[in-house]
Amino acid sequence: MTNEENNSRPHRIPHRGLGPNQRRILAYLENHKKATYKELGPAVFGYEITASPISAEYISLMRTLRVMVKQGLIKKISVAITEFAIA
């Protein structure tokens, strides 16, 4: 496929102005209408993530999702776990 053919293809996901994690999240949500952080972890990072207040991946995912809500790309974030405890 040449570059011109690739550029003329209709894109289902808008790519302009979106980061790689945002594109991966939108691609996952196209097929699944709802997702948990456990499902988005492998889709975005390629491996399981934990819901820990010190987990860099979890913090990054939540920040990305908050930005996407502000941009209007996704509707809402429901957080079931409101408190974290470090044992």
pLDDT tens string, the chain, 87 residues long: the values are 565 555 555 555 555 678 888 988 888 888 888 888 888 888 888 888 887 777 888 888 888 988 888 888 888 887 665 444 443
> 3-state DSSP: the chain helix, strand, coil percent, rounded to 5?
50, 0, 50
Asked whether 39 and 28 are in contact (CB, 8 A), the reply is: yes
Taking alpha carbons only, the member of 21, 79, 86, 76 closest to residue 53 is 86
Check residue 77 and give its pLDDT: 81
